[in-house]
Amino acid sequence: MANVQKGKLILDGYEFEVKDCSETAFFLFDDDEDDDDDERDAMTKTVSMDVCFEEGQFGKEKVSPSLIINEFATGKECIDDIIGMEFEVKDVEEADEREDTMYVFEHEPLVNYKLKILGRDGDIVHVKISGTAITDGYSDSEQTAEFEGEFWLICKE
């Protein structure tokens, strides 16, 4: 597979293509918590991702959404060991504390989501995510929407 980031976000029935840009990536870092553990023989990894999307129609507005999922500790030492792992955030309080957000009109915390690491091809990681996002927290009554996405993202270490 060429090093092209691709995929699609479906937000409340509206589709947005992944924007292949330097801000879009899957991140794999050493877990800072391992520094505190003198008994560990090897450094484990954390995963996170930032995904920007091409402009598209959302209701009556043109928007360019983005999705930020901050670090999850994997307890694994390499990328191949994280394939098949699933991460879940169950409520808006947890998402807000983690600073996981979706930008539609403003950055808003996600209500809930599940993220699964499906595979890897070279430096491209295949992920799937689904959940509920706050799309407009400033309206008279907070607006939410279901979302799902499947992405192929460059892995930055």
Residues 40-60: tens digit of each pLDDT: 567 899 999 999 999 999 999
Q: Which residues pair with 133 in a beta bridge?
A: 110, 145
pLDDT digits (tens, 9 = 90+) for 66-114: 999 999 999 999 999 999 999 999 999 999 999 999 999 999 999 999 9
Asked whether residue 19 is assigned to any structural domain, the reply reads yes
CB 154 within 8 A of CB 26: yes
- Domain encompassing residue 92: 6-32+42-156
Q: Rounded to whole angstroms, how far apart are CA atoms 82 and 40?
A: 18
Q: Say if 37 falls within a structural domain.
A: no
Indicate whether 1 belongs to any domain: no
Q: Is the pTM of this model over 0.85?
A: yes
Among candidates 17, 71, 74, which has minimal Cα distance to 43?
Answer: 74
Residue 25 lies in a domain: yes
Residue 126 lies in a domain: yes
What gap in Å lies between CA 33 and CA 156, rounded to an integer? Answer: 20
Average pLDDT, the chain: 92
Q: Are strands 56-58 and 61-63 parallel, antiparallel or unpaired?
A: antiparallel
Is residue 83 within 8 Å of residue 108, measured between CB atoms? no
How many domains are contained in the chain? 1
* 82 found inside a domain: yes
Q: How confident is the model at residue 31 (pLDDT cuts 50, 70, 90)?
A: confident
